[in-house]
Amino acid sequence: MLAIFGNESESTWEAAKALGILGSKRAVARLIKILSEAEDEEKRVTAAYSPGLLGDSRSLAPLLNVLNDRDLSPKLRSHAAEALGYLKDKRAFDILSSEIKDASPEVRYSIAFSLGEIGDRRALPELERLAATDDAAASAGTIREMAQEAIRSINSVPGD
């Protein structure tokens, strides 16, 4: 955990994963501060990732702010979008939906993932459009593949 707050960038991701695995929410306020204020992008990216894994709703507004800020890098915005999926908070739906046509494949991929995780059926038309038309590659796969997976996820939710 100390690597996030210190200067050692190579340990940053390991510390973020450890926070998620341990389920410790003690660092969430500090992570939100780093997400919102740090000048080092890698620290901000990591700070976006951890609160999502922890499922801490205090990070909802800061993550939405990052996703919505087009002056920030696609990498940072993509990680914020992914973290919103881990939160599974339906309040993120409107901003995720409004950003689904982002120019960055990484951002679109993460948004498709998050819409699938949130499970709101209102996402289906846009996800179906992506599944039919978006062959752009992101680091983890194509937008088409993720949109198809998100559709399956939403359709598998009982009672909807």
Q: Which class for 93: exposed (0-12), middle (13-18), buried (19 or more C-beta within 10 A)?
A: middle
Asked whether the whole model's pTM tops 0.75, one would answer yes
Q: Is the pLDDT of residue 3 over 60?
A: no
Q: Which two tokens stand for residue 6?
A: 């210190």
Overall average pLDDT of the 132-157 stretch? 95
- Taking a C-beta distance cutoff of 8 angstroms, is the pair 151, 127 a contact? yes
Q: Is the pLDDT of residue 144 over 60?
A: yes
Share of the chain above pLDDT 90, in %: 62
Helix (H) or strand (E) holding 49: helix 41-54
The string of DSSP letters for 82-146 reads HHHHHHT-GGGHHHHHHTTT-S-HHHHHHHHHHHHHHT-GGGHHHHHHHHHH---EETTEEHHHH
Helix (H) or strand (E) holding 75: helix 74-87
Higher-confidence residue of 43 and 145: namely: 145
Overall average pLDDT of the 98-113 stretch? 97
* Cα–Cα distance, 73 to 2 (Å, whole number): 25
Average pLDDT, the chain: 87
Q: Is the pLDDT of residue 6 over 50?
A: no
* Cα–Cα distance, 46 to 110 (Å, whole number): 15
